[in-house]
Structure 1
Amino acid sequence: MSRGYLAVYLFFCALIAVAVWMLTYGLILQIVFKDGRVLHLMTTTNPLAPLEQFAAYFGNRSLRLVALSAALPAIAAAAFAAAFGLRRHSSPLGDAAFEDMPALRRGGWFGRQGHIFGRFGTRILRRQDDRHHLIVGPTRSGKGVGYVIPNALMFPGSMIVTDLKGEIFDLTAGYRLANGHQVFLFSPGSQKTHRWNPLDFVRADRGSRTIDIQNMAAILIPEAIGSENAVWQGMAQQVIAGVISYVL
């Protein structure tokens, strides 16, 4: 419920409280003091008769007790109306909706730092958080130019970008390099690529060296537990480990 609707509903609850108070006030006068004139005026020609009488005779102790007694059911009625109207309603179809400008402001989507998500009108949608993001849209709908490329240009930290066509690298690598960042393109199937040798990460000392080689062989040839080929996969791992040891 938005703030505007909340304010309107709370005002409605206040009107209920006033109406119940006036009705109870008139009933107490009629039942306890055998004076039904205020209740009669309220239900016929002057709905505000209880308020007018109480204001005119505020110094009367008996009327103050009547007003205080009438306040109890009035407060109870307003509280019941508020609890009934403001409770969370379950929706079997969900309650997701597109956010409007007030909701975006409350959510902090117009910050100066953080990930860039696009534009709402003339305002840049930007939010600082570590949550996962899912950008959904058809081909050529602006996912790259609206989210990927701006963040590849502006994100201050390190990134790993899956760039199948090389377009993101072509558009952002020069800017990142000019601002002092290191940029690497790893494309094993292309002649235009940086090199990466996993054997460079094998530690030199004997104990760590054996463990690193065995781990690398297990990654290259994973062993399927329970498979009829498990024995051959295990032997293949040993062969690969031996070859790596020989090369090093």
Structure 2
Amino acid sequence: MNQTKILWGSVFSVSTVILAFTWAATQWTAWRLGFQTQLGTPWFTLLGWPVYYPPEFFWWWFAYDAYAPDIFTTGGYIAASGGIAAVIVAITMSVWRAREKKRATTYGSAHWAEPREIRRAGLLAPDGVVLGRSTDAYLRHDGPEHVLCFAPTRSGKGVGLVVPTLLTWPGSAIVHDIKGENWTLTAGWRSRFGRVLLFDPTNLASAAYNPLLEVRRGEREVRDVQNIADVLVDPEGALEKRNHWEKTSHALLVGTILHVLYAEEDKTLAGVANFLSDPKRAIETDVPPGNVTI
């Protein structure tokens, strides 16, 4: 909110409070004096009651105090109460102004969420991705939106967000766990309610996948093998036009994979590599007799 508008609001609020209490003192004094004609002509009449100008109390006090000192003293207390109330309002407005100033958006509007903002964002759900913790509850996101956590290395992203999420997430999850820390900390628990697979080609305990077993035998086998060779020759799919070596290597791989699928026992990519370059076999006998596929 604009600071000038807040300042004018404070001035208006304080003035209104002082005017209201002064007017109340005027009307109360006139009532106690029986609305005598010596008080002057009323400003207007409301529902049969004469209403006087707010500051007339002070004129009456100066002129008639000697005739009814108790009434004017009480009226003075009422008017003075307006000053006390005005001070309270001024302090309240100052605190409000300071609070609004703290939220200035000159350099951006990001700030720590308040409880009402947390509730409005729906971050108090019992399930979802763990985002953090407020005073007495965990903050979770369970909506269709994406979640991004950006922080330096060793700043607590894993132990603070990822691990708690994996320990409480009831559904499936694919975790890119380069260091293996998430697997070590959460795999045991998640294996109690689902199947847990570790894919690490450098680990003997890794789950394995053999793409050659996905080749559909028959009229589709050549196309399937060509797709596998495409990935091996151009893994990023960035080659718009292949040169001689890339074309011939692709053709060699297609023929070799088809041969391994039909004629070799080790029907894997490792088997294809061993068939092409078996260190135990002399170069003159690359293809053992009887193992030629036509």
User: TM-score, structure 1 length as denominator?
Assistant: 0.59
Alignment correspondent of 2:140 = 126
1:166 to 153, 160, 180: 180
CA contact (8 A) 1:113 1:126 kept: yes
Report the residue type matching 2:205 in the other structure. K
What is the deviation of 1:138? Answer: 2.4
CA shift digits 1:3-59 (9 cap, x unpaired): xxxxxx8xx6xx89xx9xxxxxxxxxxxxxxxxxxxxxx9xx96xxxxx848548xx
The 5-angstrom pairing of residues 53-202 of structure 1 reads 53=44, 55-56=46-47, 94-179=108-193, 181-202=194-215
CA shift digits 1:203-229 (9 cap, x unpaired): 23422x2222111111121164456x5
Report the residue type matching 1:167 in the other structure. E
What is the deviation of 1:161? Answer: 0.9
Alignment correspondent of 1:242 = 255
Inter-partner Cα distance in structure 2 for 1:195 and 1:233? 28
Report the residue type matching 1:202 in the other structure. V
Residue 120 and residue 94 in structure 1: after superposition, are their counterparts in 2 closer, same or farther (change >3 A)?
same
**After alignment, is 94-103 or 139-148 more displaced?**
94-103
User: TM-score, structure 2 length as denominator?
Assistant: 0.51
3-state SS in 2 of match to 1:104: helix
Alignment correspondent of 2:243 = 230
3-state SS in 2 of match to 1:171: helix
Residue 56 and residue 234 in structure 1: after superposition, are their counterparts in 2 closer, same or farther (change >3 A)?
farther
Residue 53 and residue 218 in structure 1: after superposition, are their counterparts in 2 closer, same or farther (change >3 A)?
farther
2:231 to 188, 202, 219: 219
RMSD over aligned Cα atoms: 3.2
CA shift digits 1:76-104 (9 cap, x unpaired): xxxxxxxxxxxxxxx78543333222211
Aligned-pair identity (%)? 35
CA contact (8 A) 1:153 1:175 kept: yes
What is the deviation of 1:197? Answer: 1.0
3-state SS in 2 of match to 1:233: helix
What is the deviation of 1:191? Answer: 2.4
Inter-partner Cα distance in structure 2 for 1:235 and 1:175? 49
CA contact (8 A) 1:224 1:230 kept: no
Unpaired runs of 5+ residues, structure 2, are 24-42, 49-104, 262-294
CA shift digits 1:146-198 (9 cap, x unpaired): 2111121222222111112211111111111122x111111111223122111
3-state SS in 1 of match to 2:191: helix
Unpaired runs of 5+ residues, structure 1, are 2-8, 20-41, 47-51, 58-90
The alignment of Structure 1 onto Structure 2 pairs a total of residues equal to 174
